Structure 1
Amino acid sequence: MSHERRPARPLRFDDPARSAAYWERVRRIVDQAPPLTDDQRARIRAAFCTSTTSSAAPPKAAA
């Protein structure tokens, strides 16, 4: 996976060398992580695809 083209990363620090070192460290950590299971992928997808309006409680009536 380390040979894939990755999207540009945001500038993390003002110093470009420090920012590049930070993102390289992140890449190394991610590359060492085990792959996600289908259940983990489904839970992450559901967390981002769930509508916030359907889970919000209705407003309380004024007294």
Structure 2
Amino acid sequence: MTNNRETTAGGALVGAPGRPARPDRPRRFDDDARNDAYWARIVACVDSAPPLSDEQRATLRVIFSGATTATAQEAA
């Protein structure tokens, strides 16, 4: 794999259409190639994940809103 942003990473196109550029991403490594490869792996993992169910979305909304676990189960 090269450090070209147009190459694929794990089957996902890095910088795919519809995905906004993220110049604000933190630098994980000083080496540009290593940093680009790291973020390419993250993007590939996210792109390969199945969509969330409505129940999962509701649970996450409750979790991140600071509600209790009992409320999360009711919302789901």
**Same fold by TM-score greater than 0.5:** yes
Moved over 3 A (4+): none
Corresponding pairs, count: 51
Of 2, 20, 24 in structure 2, the residue corresponding to residue 5 of structure 1 is 20
Which consecutive residues of structure 1, in runs of 5 or more, have no partner in the other structure?
53-63
* Structure in which a larger fraction of residues adopt helix: 1
Q: Structure 1 residues 28 and 11 mapped into 2: Cα distance closer, same or farther (>3 Å)?
A: same
Percent identical pairs in the alignment equals 49
Q: Deviations over 1:27-54 (max 9, x none)?
A: 11111111011111111111111158xx
TM-score (norm 2): 0.56
TM-score by length of 1: 0.65
- Give the equivalent residue in structure 1 for 2:51: 35
Pairing 1:8-27 to 2, within 5 Å after superposition:
8-27=24-43
**Larger Rg over CA atoms:** 1
Report the CA distance shift for 1:49/1:6 in structure 2 as closer, same or farther (over 3 A).
farther
